[in-house]
Amino acid sequence: MSLHDDAVSVLSGYAGADAQQAALRKTYLDHLAAHPDGMWKACGAGHLTASALVIDPERGRVLLTLHRKLRMWLQMGGHCEPQDTSLTAAALREATEESGIAGLTLLPGGPVRLDRHPIPSPCHWHLDVQYAATASAGAVEQISEESLDLRWFPYDEVAGVADSSVVLLLEGTRARLDRG
Protein backbone atom coordinates (compact mmCIF):
# COMPACT_ATOMS: atom_id res chain seq x y z
CA MET A 1 0.00 0.00 0.00
CA SER A 2 1.37 3.44 -0.89
CA LEU A 3 1.61 6.26 1.64
CA HIS A 4 -1.14 8.07 -0.29
CA ASP A 5 -3.41 4.99 -0.02
CA ASP A 6 -2.62 4.65 3.68
CA ALA A 7 -3.55 8.30 4.26
CA VAL A 8 -6.87 7.83 2.45
CA SER A 9 -7.56 4.75 4.59
CA VAL A 10 -6.62 6.49 7.86
CA LEU A 11 -8.68 9.57 7.05
CA SER A 12 -11.66 7.50 5.86
CA GLY A 13 -11.70 5.83 9.28
CA TYR A 14 -11.12 9.00 11.27
CA ALA A 15 -14.06 10.01 13.42
CA GLY A 16 -13.43 13.60 14.49
CA ALA A 17 -14.88 14.97 17.68
CA ASP A 18 -16.99 17.69 16.06
CA ALA A 19 -18.31 19.19 12.82
CA GLN A 20 -15.10 21.16 12.23
CA GLN A 21 -13.03 17.98 12.36
CA ALA A 22 -15.48 16.23 10.01
CA ALA A 23 -15.16 19.14 7.56
CA LEU A 24 -11.35 18.96 7.74
CA ARG A 25 -11.49 15.22 7.12
CA LYS A 26 -13.46 15.89 3.94
CA THR A 27 -11.02 18.64 2.91
CA TYR A 28 -8.08 16.25 3.36
CA LEU A 29 -9.77 13.45 1.40
CA ASP A 30 -10.77 15.86 -1.38
CA HIS A 31 -7.20 17.15 -1.51
CA LEU A 32 -5.79 13.64 -1.85
CA ALA A 33 -8.34 12.77 -4.54
CA ALA A 34 -7.35 15.86 -6.55
CA HIS A 35 -3.59 15.61 -5.93
CA PRO A 36 -1.80 12.28 -6.35
CA ASP A 37 1.28 14.12 -5.02
CA GLY A 38 -0.64 15.50 -2.02
CA MET A 39 1.58 13.70 0.47
CA TRP A 40 4.74 15.49 -0.61
CA LYS A 41 6.26 18.89 0.06
CA ALA A 42 6.52 19.48 -3.70
CA CYS A 43 2.71 19.68 -4.03
CA GLY A 44 2.19 23.42 -4.49
CA ALA A 45 -1.49 23.27 -3.45
CA GLY A 46 -0.46 21.99 -0.02
CA HIS A 47 0.40 18.61 1.43
CA LEU A 48 -0.27 16.32 4.33
CA THR A 49 2.12 16.36 7.25
CA ALA A 50 2.30 14.10 10.30
CA SER A 51 2.93 15.14 13.88
CA ALA A 52 2.82 13.73 17.38
CA LEU A 53 2.42 15.39 20.74
CA VAL A 54 4.92 13.72 23.09
CA ILE A 55 3.43 13.29 26.55
CA ASP A 56 4.44 11.89 29.91
CA PRO A 57 1.04 11.06 31.41
CA GLU A 58 2.53 9.83 34.70
CA ARG A 59 3.97 13.29 35.37
CA GLY A 60 1.23 15.26 33.60
CA ARG A 61 3.53 16.97 31.17
CA VAL A 62 4.12 17.46 27.46
CA LEU A 63 7.34 17.92 25.48
CA LEU A 64 7.27 20.84 23.05
CA THR A 65 9.85 22.05 20.57
CA LEU A 66 10.66 25.68 19.93
CA HIS A 67 10.57 25.44 16.15
CA ARG A 68 13.67 26.96 14.55
CA LYS A 69 11.90 28.60 11.59
CA LEU A 70 8.52 29.46 13.11
CA ARG A 71 9.84 30.39 16.58
CA MET A 72 6.78 28.85 18.20
CA TRP A 73 6.34 26.08 20.76
CA LEU A 74 4.86 23.15 18.84
CA GLN A 75 4.43 19.40 18.91
CA MET A 76 6.99 17.33 16.99
CA GLY A 77 6.17 16.84 13.33
CA GLY A 78 6.82 17.56 9.72
CA HIS A 79 6.86 16.37 6.16
CA CYS A 80 6.36 12.82 5.04
CA GLU A 81 9.46 11.17 3.56
CA PRO A 82 9.76 8.53 0.83
CA GLN A 83 10.74 5.87 3.39
CA ASP A 84 7.55 6.40 5.42
CA THR A 85 5.20 3.47 4.91
CA SER A 86 2.25 5.03 6.74
CA LEU A 87 1.08 8.21 8.43
CA THR A 88 1.69 6.59 11.80
CA ALA A 89 5.25 5.74 10.76
CA ALA A 90 5.80 9.33 9.62
CA ALA A 91 4.43 10.76 12.88
CA LEU A 92 6.53 8.39 14.98
CA ARG A 93 9.67 9.09 12.92
CA GLU A 94 9.19 12.86 13.24
CA ALA A 95 8.53 12.64 16.99
CA THR A 96 11.60 10.47 17.52
CA GLU A 97 13.89 12.63 15.36
CA GLU A 98 12.80 15.93 16.88
CA SER A 99 12.61 14.78 20.51
CA GLY A 100 15.67 12.54 20.51
CA ILE A 101 13.65 10.00 22.53
CA ALA A 102 13.81 6.39 21.38
CA GLY A 103 10.95 4.03 22.15
CA LEU A 104 8.02 6.44 21.84
CA THR A 105 4.63 4.73 21.56
CA LEU A 106 1.71 6.23 19.67
CA LEU A 107 -1.58 6.21 21.52
CA PRO A 108 -3.97 3.66 20.04
CA GLY A 109 -6.97 4.81 18.06
CA GLY A 110 -5.30 6.66 15.20
CA PRO A 111 -5.06 10.42 14.82
CA VAL A 112 -6.19 12.60 17.70
CA ARG A 113 -6.93 15.69 15.54
CA LEU A 114 -6.55 17.30 12.16
CA ASP A 115 -5.21 20.83 11.76
CA ARG A 116 -4.96 22.80 8.50
CA HIS A 117 -2.75 25.87 8.60
CA PRO A 118 -1.22 28.22 6.04
CA ILE A 119 2.52 28.22 5.49
CA PRO A 120 4.80 30.44 3.42
CA SER A 121 4.95 29.95 -0.34
CA PRO A 122 5.63 27.81 -2.31
CA CYS A 123 3.78 25.16 -0.27
CA HIS A 124 0.74 27.22 0.85
CA TRP A 125 -0.93 24.70 3.22
CA HIS A 126 -0.03 22.03 5.73
CA LEU A 127 -2.80 19.51 6.29
CA ASP A 128 -1.49 18.07 9.54
CA VAL A 129 -2.57 14.66 10.82
CA GLN A 130 -1.92 14.85 14.55
CA TYR A 131 -1.18 11.89 16.79
CA ALA A 132 -0.01 11.60 20.39
CA ALA A 133 2.92 9.56 21.68
CA THR A 134 3.90 8.54 25.17
CA ALA A 135 7.45 8.64 26.43
CA SER A 136 8.70 5.96 28.77
CA ALA A 137 9.59 6.79 32.36
CA GLY A 138 13.00 8.38 32.55
CA ALA A 139 13.09 9.30 28.85
CA VAL A 140 15.71 11.92 28.10
CA GLU A 141 15.12 14.37 25.28
CA GLN A 142 17.83 15.60 22.93
CA ILE A 143 17.50 18.74 20.87
CA SER A 144 17.63 18.37 17.08
CA GLU A 145 18.84 20.78 14.41
CA GLU A 146 15.21 21.69 13.69
CA SER A 147 14.70 23.11 17.18
CA LEU A 148 15.93 26.07 19.13
CA ASP A 149 14.87 24.40 22.38
CA LEU A 150 12.99 21.41 23.79
CA ARG A 151 11.13 21.67 27.05
CA TRP A 152 8.69 19.70 29.17
CA PHE A 153 5.64 21.73 30.21
CA PRO A 154 3.01 20.76 32.78
CA TYR A 155 -0.37 20.32 31.09
CA ASP A 156 -1.73 23.48 32.70
CA GLU A 157 1.12 25.65 31.30
CA VAL A 158 0.70 24.69 27.63
CA ALA A 159 -1.99 27.31 26.92
CA GLY A 160 0.40 30.02 28.10
CA VAL A 161 3.20 29.10 25.68
CA ALA A 162 1.65 27.39 22.65
CA ASP A 163 -1.02 28.35 20.14
CA SER A 164 -4.57 27.04 20.16
CA SER A 165 -3.84 24.12 17.82
CA VAL A 166 -1.42 22.63 20.37
CA VAL A 167 -3.87 23.29 23.21
CA LEU A 168 -6.65 21.50 21.30
CA LEU A 169 -4.32 18.59 20.53
CA LEU A 170 -3.46 18.29 24.22
CA GLU A 171 -7.15 18.41 25.17
CA GLY A 172 -7.96 15.67 22.66
CA THR A 173 -5.02 13.60 23.88
CA ARG A 174 -6.05 13.91 27.52
CA ALA A 175 -9.65 12.97 26.64
CA ARG A 176 -8.38 9.87 24.86
CA LEU A 177 -6.22 8.95 27.87
CA ASP A 178 -9.20 9.38 30.20
CA ARG A 179 -11.30 7.05 28.03
CA GLY A 180 -8.51 4.59 27.66
Q: What is the pLDDT of residues 106-133, one digit of tens each?
A: 999 999 999 998 877 777 789 999 999 9
With both helix axes pointing from N to C terminus, report the angle between 87-99 and 3-13 in degrees, rounded to the nearest 10: 100
Residues of the chain with pLDDT > 90, as a percent, come to 83
CB count, 10 Å around CB of 169?
Answer: 26
Q: State pTM to two decimals.
A: 0.95
Indicate the SS3 state at residue 44: coil
